[in-house]
Structure 1
Amino acid sequence: MSRSGYTLPVFACASAVAALHWLRHSQPLEVVSVDLIEPAQIVEIPIEQVAGLSKNSALAITRSDPGDNLDLTKNTPIWALVEWRKEPGEAVIIQGGEGIGKQLNAEGKAAIYAYAQRLLKENLCLMLAAGEKITVTIILPEGRSLAVRTSNSAFGVVEGLSLLGTTGISQPLSTPDQLDAFRSELQHKASRFESLVFCIGENGLDLARKLGINSEQLVKTANWLGPMLVEADALDVKEILLFGYHGKLLKLAGGIFHTHHHLADGRREILAAHCALVNLNSADIQAVFHSATAEAALTYLRSLDAKTGSNWVNQVYNAIAQAIDTRSQEYIQSHNTRGTAATICGSILFDRDRKIIVKSKTACILIEKLC
């Protein structure tokens, strides 16, 4: 059985709680209790170090423990600097320091998202008296160097890591145990809804909610799209909307139904093949093929459209979306032994700025039902 750990926001919160405790009592804590909120659970987080920097500020350090998840943040230090504040405003202000990423599409705003903000504020506000105010600065000393090994830049986050997620529990996303957990969630939701939305990761879940899709119809799949599609069909789910970042989801257009890059990639080959199918010229196909990332290939096609007044992005990505739908239907049908109509699939692909690139024809129908 794989061991679950906790997400980065939990350790950031624990550090902040320990630092605030020092400011109030001038005493270090070895362990702090954090209310995860999601799920409704109190957990104990060990504190590595606490130091008072002045009568108005203190710093505390924890270390990330994501359990058995293959997470590059494992054992990385998370600092929280807490300072008393007299200026008007919220009781708790959260800001990003060194190693916390900046959002390019939000004028450099710190990449500290809704769950992390809520987790910190709710736990810290319980420790404040009426009228007291603090500023909390989260620091990841290794964040900038670790970020170059992630896909953060593909989602417009630079210079560090994100405090992202919707839960405090960190689950191993590529183990059979995690697939069992995803299937269990799918079984529960399939008993309530005939139409569901599959999201590979947190970015898809977050964007789908913002579009007005009922969160109860969202199912996280991580990289297990193939098994999850087959399971949905077996559970008699009528319709699945595949909603994801184009650099992941386009793999399905090439028949790759486990999308972890350690198992299979093929993104540039799939992109280049669809460029050829819509008759893009050879030099431009070569440029797409040799792009460092799927996002870079999309940027190249967009610049080509801007220069020439062409429509290559729409042509290429419409072809890819249709291929995703077709290959998904074929994949499901190949595993359907009941002789019944297979689950219908549609697809929506978005870019690093969480802007939708394309909706397949089927997705356009499904999204009308879901929103």
Structure 2
Amino acid sequence: MLYNHLMEQTGTELRRGWTTGSCATAAAKAAWLILSGHEAPACVTITLPGGQRPAFAICRTGLHNCHPFAEVVKDAGDDPDITHGAIIRATVRRLPEGSGVQFCAGPGVGTVTRPGLPLPPGEPAINPTPRAMIRTALTEASGGLLPDAEITLSIADGARLAERTLNSRLGIMGGLSVLGTTGIVIPFSCAAWIDSIHRGVDVARAEGLTHLAASTGNVSEKAVQKFYNLPDTALIEMGDFAGGFLKYLRRHPVPRLTIAGGIAKMTKLGQGRLDLHSKRGQADMAALAQLAAAGGTSASLTASLATCPTVAEAFLLATAAEIPLGSFIAQSALRTVLETLMPAPCTVDVMVFDRAGRCVGQAGPTQP
């Protein structure tokens, strides 16, 4: 894991943080305590799904339309989370007996508009685990009884921050999602991105799409969308997480899949790498040279390819010699994809694009 890799590099443990769901839970508990007649608390303790009991500082309390609110500043630790430092607000009001706990999306929190997510269309994008955490916190604040309450969650500047996420593609409109399964953010685990990949598959399947295209970056995504004329919901931005995507698709298959990526990342995929991040290692140039040799490359060019410092330079050498290295790379990547997907009944092809979005190699479609 990158978390452990960075610990080894720096010699210090990276600081963990708190999910948006944990911060919202603390804010909701503080606001409910105020509504119940307590003084505004400086901090509150909540219970996480794993049983941990962290305390959260309350940065601000007040009234909104005569209803109490409390705010928590999100601390994501050392993770590069776009919501680090965001202000999470919970506003509460009592409901008639028997109403239970109901959730509303305030400014900066999105609304679900497509099927396939853990929540039905029309619901605020407050995931099931944060909802359960908030119910537990309100029960703790009410002496062991679950109150009847409306909880409105807001995230300052959430609509703008959501533009930097995959929410709109997933059908979450108007703001961010309130996420978290453990309540804890592990630095560089990229759990939110992987979860977005999984939810993207769920949404596409719920819409009945039969052909998905997973890409490693923006250039390859735009190119493959244009090539196949695919709708936005058929596009999965898997980035470096080929393994996270393919293993999920193995359990939740679709009839047709295209994998699209740049030359270097597809080379690593063809060499069996399922985590394509540069920090997990560079492409094996000797193995790339042998791949070209198996396709009929001369001994002298094979030797030159093996000593190239980058895949990009090797590709230029092969292109100058009219060697279809892109197609060799696509074939090797296709083998890795098919092996990882087995036994899912999915027809697969692989497309390799250069930085200008030109297809420089293709393999398939082939069934496992």
- Specify the TM-score bucket, using the shorter chain as the normaliser: 0.5 to 0.7
Q: Separation in 1 of the partners of 2:72 and 2:266? A: 45
- In structure 1, the partner of 2:318 is none
2:275 pairs with 1:331: no
Give the secondary structure class of the aligned counterpart of 1:25: coil
Q: Separation in 2 of the partners of 1:298 and 1:265? A: 12
2:133 pairs with 1:123: no
Please list, as runs of the form range in 1=range in 2, the aligned pairs for 1:46-65 lying within 5 A after superposition: 46-52=57-63, 57-65=67-75
- Cα distance, 1:358 vs structure 2: 5.9
Residues 121-163 of structure 1: CA deviation (Å, up to 9, x unaligned): 1111122255842211111231112212222101111110001
Q: Separation in 2 of the partners of 1:36 and 1:93? A: 20
Q: Which amino acid in 1 is paired with 2:43? A: V
- In structure 2, the partner of 1:268 is 222
- In structure 1, the partner of 2:121 is 107
- Cα distance, 1:51 vs structure 2: 2.2
- In structure 2, the partner of 1:15 is 27
- In structure 1, the partner of 2:104 is 95
8 Å CA contact 1:346, 1:363 repeated in 2: no
Give the secondary structure class of the aligned counterpart of 2:272: helix
Q: Separation in 1 of the partners of 2:187 and 2:366? A: 30
Q: State, as a whole percentage, how many aligned pairs show the same letter.
A: 22
Q: Separation in 1 of the partners of 2:345 and 2:336? A: 27
- In structure 2, the partner of 1:133 is 148
- In structure 2, the partner of 1:152 is 167
Sort the Cα spacing of 1:357 and 1:328 in 2 relative to 1 into closer, same or farther, 3 A: same
8 Å CA contact 1:165, 1:202 repeated in 2: no
Q: Which amino acid in 2 is paired with 1:10? A: S
Q: Separation in 2 of the partners of 1:146 and 1:357? A: 38
Q: Separation in 1 of the partners of 2:62 and 2:146? A: 25
Please list, as runs of the form range in 1=range in 2, the aligned pairs for 1:61-80 lying within 5 A after superposition: 61-80=71-90
2:40 pairs with 1:28: yes
Q: Separation in 2 of the partners of 1:136 and 1:42? A: 22
8 Å CA contact 1:19, 1:60 repeated in 2: yes
8 Å CA contact 2:24, 2:153 repeated in 1: yes
The structure having more radius of gyration, on CA atoms, is: 2
Q: Separation in 2 of the partners of 1:72 and 1:125? A: 31
Give the secondary structure class of the aligned counterpart of 1:126: helix
Q: Which amino acid in 1 is paired with 2:109? A: I
Give the secondary structure class of the aligned counterpart of 1:108: coil
Give the secondary structure class of the aligned counterpart of 1:164: coil
- Cα distance, 1:326 vs structure 2: 10
- In structure 1, the partner of 2:52 is 41
Q: Which amino acid in 2 is paired with 1:93? A: Q
Q: Separation in 2 of the partners of 1:98 and 1:70? A: 23
Q: Separation in 2 of the partners of 1:206 and 1:121? A: 24
- In structure 2, the partner of 1:84 is 94
8 Å CA contact 1:325, 1:347 repeated in 2: no
Paired residue total? 251
Please list, as runs of the form range in 1=range in 2, the aligned pairs for 1:278-297 lying within 5 A after superposition: 295=232
Sort the Cα spacing of 1:172 and 1:329 in 2 relative to 1 into closer, same or farther, 3 A: same
8 Å CA contact 1:329, 1:344 repeated in 2: no
Residues 243-284 of structure 1: CA deviation (Å, up to 9, x unaligned): xx956x433xxxxxxxxx5xx853224555xx3xxxx7xxx7
Q: Separation in 2 of the partners of 1:332 and 1:143? A: 35
8 Å CA contact 1:57, 1:81 repeated in 2: yes
- In structure 2, the partner of 1:5 is 17
State which drifts further: 323-332 or 24-33.
323-332
Q: Separation in 2 of the partners of 1:109 and 1:131? A: 21
8 Å CA contact 1:347, 1:359 repeated in 2: no
In the alignment, structure 2 segments of 5+ residues that lack a partner are: 1-12, 115-119, 204-210, 237-253, 275-282, 288-334, 350-364
Give the secondary structure class of the aligned counterpart of 2:28: helix
2:195 pairs with 1:202: yes
Q: Separation in 1 of the partners of 2:196 and 2:366? A: 18
Q: Which amino acid in 2 is paired with 1:116? A: P
Sort the Cα spacing of 1:112 and 1:269 in 2 relative to 1 into closer, same or farther, 3 A: same
Q: TM-score, normalised by structure 2?
A: 0.56
- Cα distance, 1:96 vs structure 2: 1.6
Q: Separation in 1 of the partners of 2:55 and 2:366? A: 44
Q: Separation in 2 of the partners of 1:95 and 1:363? A: 46
1:250 to 215, 233, 236: 215
